[in-house]
């Protein structure tokens, strides 16, 4: 039994850390991996999932469901000791962490709301991108105001804070007693999708609690719709594009680009094109841009059309590549192509954007073949792309009988051995270990066992020929 649990934990760790599988994915029964681990009493798996960012806050639907389904007291104690998603776990998803911190710290904010004595800092660009109501208010009643006072007695500060959380992150965590206040604000802000989500979640929680005596859900949590959040943040990138590069924009009746103010505070000049952007996004997403704009940037040249907006020229990057960088910064996504992926990878590395490097790695992984697998593996090592490195090792395992005949492959193994610090004669070599693992994995038939043994023998003969004992 212990061996089975160990194997489950190893598979889970591989899926999370190598394959980037979502820990909080739900099946058709609305159940998560953590719920099933609790239900089966796999204490070590539960511990690993919690430490890696599985969501299980007390008094929420997911938390109470996991607690109710626990098979053992030891698993139940683990859940009770769990408080909230750790910073380390949140940082696994860079974009969500960035949006959370953007709201919490308010860096480069340009507007404040005073709600019955409580101050909330915000960014006009985010609120305008997420709500046409705020777009209209910033251009009419609130135009030019840096401090906006909301005096209406029905505007609850806690509910307003929850609405802001939803705007920035797509999430909402609100006390059950404040749901009606939140629904009222959502209606005022013309947020039909939020009103529907609140209604559906309340119905789900009510049905669950009514069938489980003794269960008390005090906090209602809405999960983000990532695609919607990305699409609305993408509007900021759309508007930042120079007019001459907006191919196709403005042709559809629902396009907001021509009438959508985003209040930019920085202009990047690339290849002679001016991109009107926001320091909050570029500084929050990239330490390179943070150092450039906050620590070493002297605001000299100003944009003629907007005298309050400083201009900084970026060198050694084409405007096509910068467009990919910009959309990634605003939305956490872009689509590298086989033609530009290497250039984009180099720039992502220079601009300290590890998530974009991973996206490039996924694009490269799709193009792995016998002719380029060694180059791909070197690229993965150079840019520290662990998933691409694993994909390469998996592909190498499939064609190992042909690779062992290539001198370049032998050189790569020797170089990898030399990279191991203080390596002894019989110490393992990471690449060799990875290839062995993929050769031996998923072997279930006698014919597959024979084929795997032949591949392992071919690899051992190569190692012997280059005097490596590992």
266-270/311-313 β-pairing: parallel
The structural architecture, per CATH, of the domain 2-90 is Alpha Horseshoe (1.25)
What pTM does this model have? 0.78
- Convert the pLDDT of each residue in 68-116 to its tens digit: 778 787 787 778 766 544 444 445 457 888 999 999 999 999 999 999 9
Residue 59: which pLDDT band, with cuts at 50, 70 and 90?
low
The mean per-residue pLDDT over the stretch 186-209 comes to 87
Query: DSSP of 374-406, one letter per residue?
Result: HHHHHHHHHTT-HHHHHHHHHHHHHTHHHHTT-
Query: Topology of 229-358 in CATH?
Result: Potassium Channel Kv1.1; Chain A (3.30.710)
111-115/147-150 β-pairing: parallel
Distance CA(162)–CA(48), nearest Å, equals 30
Residue 418: what pLDDT?
A: 84
Does residue 109 come out as left (phi exceeding 0), alpha (psi in the -120 to 50 range) or beta? beta
Distance CA(254)–CA(218), nearest Å, equals 39
* pLDDT above 60 for 157: yes
* pLDDT above 90 for 204: no
- Convert the pLDDT of each residue in 418-430 to its tens digit: 877 555 555 678 8
Q: 50 near 56, Cβ under 8 Å?
A: yes
Residue 121: what pLDDT?
A: 97
Residue 2: what pLDDT?
A: 43
Q: 72 near 35, Cβ under 8 Å?
A: no
Distance CA(403)–CA(382), nearest Å, equals 21
**More reliable by pLDDT, 315 or 427:** 315
Residue 222: what pLDDT?
A: 85
Q: Is the dihedral of CA 313, 314, 316, 322 positive or negative?
A: negative
Output b/e per residue, 39-49; b: 16+ Cβ within 10 A: bbbbbebbbbb
Lowest average pLDDT, out of 169-178, 297-306, 394-403, goes to 297-306
Token pair listed for 430:
């990471």
Same topology, domains 94-181+218-224 and 229-358? Answer is: yes
DSSP at 117 = T
**More reliable by pLDDT, 141 or 54:** 141
Query: DSSP of 78-143, one letter per residue?
Result: HHHH--S--HHHHTTSHHHHHHHHHHHH-TT--EEEEETTEEEEE-HHHHHHH-HHHHHHHTTTTT
Percent of the chain's residues with pLDDT above 90? 52
Distance CA(413)–CA(383), nearest Å, equals 18
Token pair listed for 134:
């705020």
Distance CA(260)–CA(350), nearest Å, equals 32
Beta-bridge partners for 313: 269
* CATH superfamily, region 94-181+218-224: Potassium Channel Kv1.1; Chain A (3.30.710.10)
Angle at 93 between CA 87 and CA 95, to 5 degrees: 105
Token pair listed for 107:
């860096």
Residue 251: what pLDDT?
A: 42
* pLDDT above 80 for 326: yes
* pLDDT above 50 for 32: yes
Q: Is the dihedral of CA 362, 363, 364, 368 positive or negative?
A: positive
Q: Is the dihedral of CA 284, 101, 280, 16 positive or negative?
A: positive
Token pair listed for 364:
């490269």
Residue 92: what pLDDT?
A: 47
The mean predicted confidence, pLDDT, of the chain is 84
Q: 439 near 397, Cβ under 8 Å?
A: yes
Residue 426: what pLDDT?
A: 52
Domain positions in the chain are 2-90, 94-181+218-224, 229-358, 368-465
């Amino acid at each position: 039994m212990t061996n089975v649990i160990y194997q489950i934990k190893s598979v889970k760790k591989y899926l999370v850390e190598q394959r980037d599988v979502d820990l909080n994915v739900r099946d058709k029964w609305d159940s998560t991996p953590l719920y099933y681990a609790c239900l089966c009493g796999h204490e070590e798996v539960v511990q690993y999932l919690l430490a890696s960012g599985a969501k299980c806050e007390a008094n929420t639907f997911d938390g109470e469901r996991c607690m109710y389904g626990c098979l053992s007291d030891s698993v139940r104690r683990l859940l009770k000791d769990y408080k909230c998603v750790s910073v380390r776990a949140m940082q696994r998803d860079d974009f969500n962490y960035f949006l959370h911190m953007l709201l919490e710290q308010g860096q480069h904010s340009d507007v404040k709301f005073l709600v019955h004595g409580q101050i909330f800092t915000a960014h006009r660009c985010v609120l305008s991108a997420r709500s046409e109501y705020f777009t209209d208010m910033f251009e009419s009643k609130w135009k030019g105001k840096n401090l906006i006072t909301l005096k209406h007695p029905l505007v609850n500060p806690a509910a307003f804070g929850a609405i802001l959380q939803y705007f920035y992150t797509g999430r909402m965590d609100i006390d059950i007693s404040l749901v009606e206040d939140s629904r009222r604000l959502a209606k005022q802000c013309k947020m039909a999708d939020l009103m529907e989500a609140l209604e559906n979640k309340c119905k789900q929680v009510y049905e669950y609690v009514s069938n489980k005596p003794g269960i008390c859900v005090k906090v209602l949590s809405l999960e983000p719709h990532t695609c919607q959040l990305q699409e609305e943040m993408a509007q900021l990138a759309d508007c930042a594009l120079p007019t001459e590069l907006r191919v196709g924009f403005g042709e559809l009746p629902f396009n907001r680009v021509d009438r959508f103010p985003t209040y930019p505070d920085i202009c990047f000049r690339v290849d002679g094109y001016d991109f009107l952007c926001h320091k909050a996004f570029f500084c929050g997403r990239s330490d390179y841009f943070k150092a450039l704009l906050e620590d070493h940037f002297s605001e000299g040249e100003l944009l003629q059309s907007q005298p309050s907006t400083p201009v900084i020229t970026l060198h050694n990057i084409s405007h096509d590549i910068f467009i990919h960088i910009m959309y990634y910064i605003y939305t956490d996504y872009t689509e590298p192509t086989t033609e530009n992926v290497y250039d984009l990878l180099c720039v992502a590395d220079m601009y300290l954007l590890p998530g974009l490097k991973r996206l490039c790695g996924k694009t490269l992984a799709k193009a792995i073949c016998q002719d380029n697998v060694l180059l791909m593996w070197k690229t993965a090592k150079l840019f520290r792309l662990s998933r691409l490195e694993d994909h390469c090792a998996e592909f190498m395992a499939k064609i190992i009988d042909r690779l062992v005949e290539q001198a370049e492959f032998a050189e790569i193994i020797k170089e990898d051995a030399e990279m191991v610090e203080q390596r002894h004669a019989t110490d393992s070599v990471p690449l060799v270990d990875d290839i062995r693992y993929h050769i031996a994995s998923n072997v279930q038939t006698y014919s597959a066992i024979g084929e795997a043994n032949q591949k392992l023998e071919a690899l051992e003969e190569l190692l012997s020929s280059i005097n490596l004992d590992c």
